[in-house]
Amino acid sequence: MSDADLSARIDGIRQLGSVVRAMTGIAGARARTARAQIAAVEGYAATLEAALSQGLAGVELEDPELTARPALVVFCAEQGFVGGFSERVLDEVGAIPKGTDLFLVGNRGTAIGASRGMMPGWSAAMPSRSASLPKFADRVLAAVFADGDLRPVAVVHMIWNRGQAAVERSDLFPFPPAEGTRAQSAPLINLAADELAAALRLDQLHAVLTRAALHAFIAENEARMAAMSAASRQIEDELDVLEALARRQRQEAITAEIIEIAAGAMAGR
């Protein structure tokens, strides 16, 4: 490799390293912001759960009538450089049960799912900002209940905890019965019990779906940070090799020039 080619190669790798570091910083900032927001969403979901148990204490409600096909909401990666993020999520999904509608989030995951023969009934890109996820959850729920009929809803997403990624699957609707709640007297309410229950359950469904979206958002950015960290180490190792080669070539060129000068001096004598 000529000196010019070697110098160009080193400059290109250094520029690539700058891009990788920038991507790592962006992913880290997004993950930190989303972690701060998820605490607020979890507090909101807990408040709604308490409101349901207190506001409807002593009220006998009929279970919601589920007349539509089950819905499965799957959060995959929106972009690349995340290793096998989407593959792991789709492996957990496996074969879609017959009669289940698939709602797939994340363009990268949608492309991988299509290569596996997964044809979602609805798909969308994952927002690039965590602050947009509550509004995005409204959009997902509008698509899930577009026909106006109630249906079972489950969600599959990645969760990142203590540097490890795991796929989590949970049922969102209907809500499981609360366990271990203390019996209490029914409070005064201004709405009919059925209307109050429907309103609170809709808000709670929105909260838990937003929480799932935030977990998926955090996991994708954490996975990207891990992939970029590995890429940074590879870039540093390659730079070390190329810079050592450049030093050796310069030393050889200097040595050759000294030998040539010495030979010329000897010939002049």
Could you read off the pLDDT of 170-184 as tens digits, one per residue? 998 887 665 544 445
Predicted confidence at residue 181, as pLDDT, reads 47
Say which residue, 160 or 249, is predicted with more confidence. 160
For residue 194, the one-letter residue type is D
Sketch out the chain's domains with CATH numbers: 22-174+191-225 (3.40.1380.10)
Lowest mean pLDDT among 49-58, 69-78, 87-96, 219-228: 49-58
Q: What share of the chain has pLDDT > 90, as a percent? A: 42
Burial (CB count within 10 angstroms: exposed 0-12, middle 13-18, buried 19+), residue 136:
buried
DSSP bridge pairs for 49 = none
> In angstroms, rounded to a whole number, what is the distance separating the alpha carbons of residues 89 and 159?
10
Sheet holding 122-124, edge to edge: 122-124, 101-105, 71-75, 153-161, 164-173
- Cβ atoms of 69 and 99 within 8 Å: the answer is yes
Predicted confidence at residue 56, as pLDDT, reads 65
First to last CA, the chain: 37
Predicted confidence at residue 180, as pLDDT, reads 45
Predicted confidence at residue 150, as pLDDT, reads 87
Mean local confidence (pLDDT), 219-226 = 93
Mean local confidence (pLDDT), 13-37 = 91
pLDDT of residue 58 exceeding 60, the answer is: no
Predicted confidence at residue 27, as pLDDT, reads 92
- Residue 21's contacts (CB-CB under 8 Å, 6 or more residues apart) are 228, 232
pLDDT of residue 115 exceeding 60, the answer is: yes
Q: What is the 3-state secondary structure (H, E, C) of the chain?
A: CCHHHHHHHHHHHHHHHHHHHHHHHHHHHHHHHHHHHHHHHHHHHHHHHHHHHHHCCCCCCCCCCCCCCCEEEEECCCCCCCCCHHHHHHHHHCCCCCCCEEEEECHHHHHHHHHCCCCCCEEECCCCCHHHHHHHHHHHHHHHCCCCCCCCEEEEEEEEECCEEEEEEEEEECCCCCCCCCCCCCCCCCCCHHHHHHHHHHHHHHHHHHHHHHHHHHHHHHHHHHHHHHHHHHHHHHHHHHHHHHHHHHHHHHHHHHHHHHHHHHHHC
pLDDT of residue 240 exceeding 70, the answer is: yes
pLDDT of residue 3 exceeding 80, the answer is: no
Predicted confidence at residue 131, as pLDDT, reads 93
Predicted confidence at residue 59, as pLDDT, reads 58
Structure confidence at residue 60 as a pLDDT band (50, 70, 90) = low
Mean local confidence (pLDDT), 1-23 = 85
- Cβ atoms of 188 and 57 within 8 Å: the answer is no
pLDDT of residue 111 exceeding 90, the answer is: yes
Predicted confidence at residue 191, as pLDDT, reads 65
Predicted confidence at residue 163, as pLDDT, reads 81
Lowest mean pLDDT among 90-104, 121-135, 221-235, 252-266: 252-266
- Cβ atoms of 27 and 222 within 8 Å: the answer is yes
129-154 pLDDT, tens per residue?
999 999 999 999 999 999 888 899 99
DSSP bridge pairs for 171 = 154
Structure pTM?
Answer: 0.82
Structure confidence at residue 195 as a pLDDT band (50, 70, 90) = confident
Predicted confidence at residue 65, as pLDDT, reads 77
Q: How many CA atoms lie within 13 A of 182 on its CB side?
A: 2
- Cβ atoms of 131 and 37 within 8 Å: the answer is yes
